[in-house]
Structures are given as C-alpha cells and as structure tokens.
Structure 1
Amino acid sequence: MAEVVLRCEGLRKAYGTVVAIDDLGIEITEGETYGLLGPNGAGKTTAISMIVGILARDAGSVTIDGQPHDVHRTATKRLIGYVPQELALYPDLTGRENLHFFGRLHGLSGRELRRRGDEVLDVVGLSDRAGQRVRTYSGGMSRRLHIGVGLLNRPRLLVLDEPTVGVDPQSRNAILDNVRQLAGQGMAVLYTTHYMEEAERLCDRVGIIDSGRLRAEGTRRDLVTMLDREDEVELLADGDLAAAAQALAELAEVSAVDVREAGLRLLVAEAGPNLPQILATTGRAGVTVRSVQVREPNLESVFLHLTGKALRD
C-alpha cells in the first residue's frame, strides 16, 4: 500500500467567535493528487496555511511522512513544497537566478545547486528561457517558474494553491501535465483550484469544504454516487421512435424514456456499460441512431448540491 504522506486530524482554527476551520481531517498518500475545493470564504487558505506550517492551529494534528508537524518544526517543513497563489519571484533576476536564490534558502550550494536548478528548469519547460529576466516572461511562464521554486527541495508533499490563475490555455495544460508527472513519480500533491474541469481531470480524490467543514470526500465516482442521479442519454435517431421507446422502457437499467422530435432521451443507470444493449434494442425496433450523447452527473453537480454555490462564488 502507498504510504501516507500527509495526515491531518481534527484541525480547528477560530478568529474570535468566527470558526474558520472546524474538525478538518484529510489524508494524502504518495503518488496521489488530492483536490481541496470550496467557494470563496470556505476556509481553504486557512487550512493550507495550517498544513504547511505558517499558521498555528487551535486544535488537531498534522503529520508529514509520519513526523509531527507545526509552525516550529523546520525538519518537516523541508519535506513540503509550497506554491502560493500570489507569485513570489524577483522580476529583475533571470529564471535561473531566481531558482539559485531560493535554492540557497533550502541549503543548496555549488554544483548541487546548479544541477538542481537545471533539473527544475527542465521539469517546468523553461530551460531555453533560463537566462532571461522574469519580467520578460508571460504569465504562464512565471507560473511554471513559481512551481519550479516549490520543487527545488524535492518535496514529499507539493501544495499548489490555484496554480493556473490568469494563465493562457497552453500554459495551463503544461502546468497540469507537470503536476500529473510529479504525482506519477510518487509525490503527494494537495491542489486547490477554481476550475472544476481541472479537478475532474487531475485529482484522484476530492474534498469539498464549506464554512470550515469537510462536507464530502472521495473519488469522482464516489461523490457523484451521492447524488443518486442517473446518466442522461440522448439519441439522435430516425424511424419508429414510439416503438423504440416502448422497447427501451422494458430494460431494467432504463428508468425513463422520452420521445423527442429528433430522437429519444433516456435516464439510465451506468450508461457506459449499457449502451451496447440500448443501441441493439433501438435497432431491433427499426430505429437508426445517428449520434449518441451521454451526460453524467459531475463534480459541479455535487458541489452545487453540497454548498448551494458555484465553485467560483
């Protein structure tokens, strides 16, 4: 089994009478990307600040690689790569000079520092721009270099707080590919985003936080199952639609069939594995299917159900 890299239990933080985080507990294993999603004001930033050790908690515990972790423990902080939302780069230094500066803060020097800087530049795809000042970089390039700073110390846990904000689609895809590769190499990743499609594409598990509490957690399939909703299948078709609808309604997996002007609409439990039977049934009823569209419940549906808000609210 994969080792647990981050374990949080019973985290709590209050500011006077306002409770920002209440009994938060999560685990992330090596090679896993965990998405922490929540509307603005949900407590994500407070949670991350306690996890990385820049904000003292009122209660609860955090361990990194099995070691107790808090604001005073330097040894465990060295196991974390933290990439905050706000860029923390020196625009008048080159990309390589930025990495060397931050590398020295991690205790790197000499040949080791130069080698690690070059490795990181290769990972984030900036080797050919390493000698240029950061002020000449695009927003996407700056974001990639920012992630590179978080990788210098070869962290066991990489914490990325909305790393794709304000970048172009090409750079965004490059960042997501980088994160996927890092997780594939065994790094544990804690990822927050305001883009639901990123969570769908990248995260092995997702935790949904609202008003300081973890409302739900699991894989995409786990969370979608909570809604107890079926997949919607639309068939663009020609022929005896009424006969096809009658035949499809007799299938155990189909809970509803509507005849539309240009085809059929079905509600189906687990549409994917049942599509062959659905298509075969419509064919036997004398209907020719020209296209199929499946709409599954998604993380956005779950998020709205649990919080009553869109992710970007």
Structure 2
Amino acid sequence: MNSLALPRLALTAGEPAGVGPELLVRLAATPLAANFIAITDRGLLERAAARCGLSVQLIEDDGSQDRRPGELRIRHIPLAVEEIPGHPDPRNARHVLATLTEAADGCTSGRYAAVVTAPLQKSSINDAGVAFTGHTEFFAGHSHAEVVMMLASPELRIALATTHLPLQAVPAAIQAASLERTLRIVHSELSAKFGFAEPRIAVLGLNPHAGENGHLGREEIETIFPVMEKLRREGMRLSGPLPADTAFVPAQRQHYDAVLAMYHDQALPVLKSEAFDRTVNITLGLPFIRTSVDHGTALDLAGTGKADPSSLIAAATLALELATRHAMLPPSTSSAGRQAPTSPATP
C-alpha cells in the first residue's frame, strides 16, 4: 500500500490497562487504506503487540501519508507508570487526557483527518481528582461545541436526545429547546457528514404507545410534537412521535435514515442485539470527525491478546469514509445531495 492521498487518522488507546492498546495494534495489521497515527506511549504498544503475537512496525510520525499493513506511526506521549493489564492506575489519567487533547488539537489544525478512540476508564480519571464524564463531553468542551451522541451499525443509525441519565431524570430533561437543538444538529450532520440531501428522521415518543393520546403521558403532546411541527414547517422530514416498540420493524425502517430516541435504553438494545461488534459511536456537532468503539475497556480480557477488534475496525472504516468524502468536497461546499456512505448502510 503506497499512496500520497491516504487520510491520516489519529488513534487514541484509551485506558492503558484495558484492551485499547491491543485493539490498536490489531487495527494496524489490517489493509485498511488509511494512515494510522497512534497517540500514546510507544512502549505500551510494543508490549500490546507482544501479547497479541503481532509484528508491528512502530514509526515516529513525520507527517507522512502512506502506510503498509503492519505499520503504525506514533505520536509518543509517555505513561506516568507502566501499565498492569486489567488494573487501571489513576497516575496515568493525565496521560489519557493528554492523548485526547493532542487528537482534538490535531484534528482542528488539520494534522489529522479524524480521530478514532478506544475505550477509557472514566472512574480511573475521576480517581485522579479530575472531573470527567466521557469522551463525548471532553471533545465538546474542548471544541466549545454542542454535540449529539449517535450510534450506528450497517443497518441503523440512532441518535440520543438524552444520554447517561437515571431513568427518573429523563422526563424533566426532555425540554423543547434542547430537543429542537438536538434535531437541528442531527439533521445538519446527516446532510454534511453522511451525504443525505433531505434527511428523514424518525422521532420516538417518550411514553409507551407514544403517550396514547395523552392517556399514558403528555410529553408527546406538550413538548415533542410541537417541536416537530415547528421544524416540519421549516422543511425537515420528521416522522412521529413513534411508539418505540414498533419503530424498528422492517416496514418502518425503509421510511427513515436515522432515529432520534429519547433515552439511552429506549433504542440501543435493538441496535446492539443486531450488530454489537459492528456498532460505532459517532459524535455529531464537532468541527471534526470522531468515531469510537461501542464497548468498554474489557479489563477481564486485557493482557490476554484475545480482545475482538471488530468494533474498532468498524469505527476506523466509518471515519475513513467520512474523511474521504470531506476531502473530496470543494471548499465551503456542503455535502448535501451526495449519496450516503456504504457503511453504515442506508436503512
């Protein structure tokens, strides 16, 4: 593989004691047509490759845009202490945050076409005395952006109106202003990043049967439907509010390009039961492309060399497709009107 046009994808290894480093070296062994730059500690990757029985050539990043399978360029950020697989050490929290900062800064400056993140251990960062809620919130704060979490498989895209909230807190969080903002971001990104000329979005209700005309809850009548009507008048193609228990049957899926769910467990079990190893986490609303695995640090597997890289490969593949489309667009030109990428596929 030798091309001067390979997109430069930044990779972060996440929690050093988790499976992330092993996933990165397995990704490097694939023939995916991208130039990977691992932002982490060189020794960490050398030890991960040895545990996986892989021969990976680690090269200091010089800005090059070519790669051969088995090569992995490094942006070295040293660990505070050597990792012990399966046992996160809060002393390495600053290292993890430094890798995320370098990835965000590099994407903003154009050094990297996208960032693909391996899982991290939030508790370890908090144990180090740093308030931290996750990748999505970190990149949003760093970029001063309003963002939306989307998870996508080859068959389905699901955005979330609320993310990691206790179920009892969800109804109060479904507010007209935030719901409108979320729908605007999803609509804009489906056009700009995924290439849908007129995105079709299915909006789920909050309550069973989407409230049953107010008999099972009034959030649909008082909040969700009025926001949808306002945006429909602006030309958005919105379906719903739909009952969540029937929104994913095949006859419904053909009518939308993405779903907006009201809370985390309303729709994600459908996605993960169908395509757990092919699901990608995408942060919409950032000024750069960010994809991630949709699983955790798997501390019980760390160090065994047995972690499945499928989700990271899917995340890198999607980042590559989105970055390639972006590179093909003329300056100041939206991608609206183009075809959606093949992965995730159009439902």
TM bucket by the smaller chain?
Answer: 0.3 to 0.5
Q: Give the TM-score, by structure 2 length.
A: 0.30
Q: Structure 1 length as normaliser, TM-score?
A: 0.32
| Higher-strand-fraction structure | 1
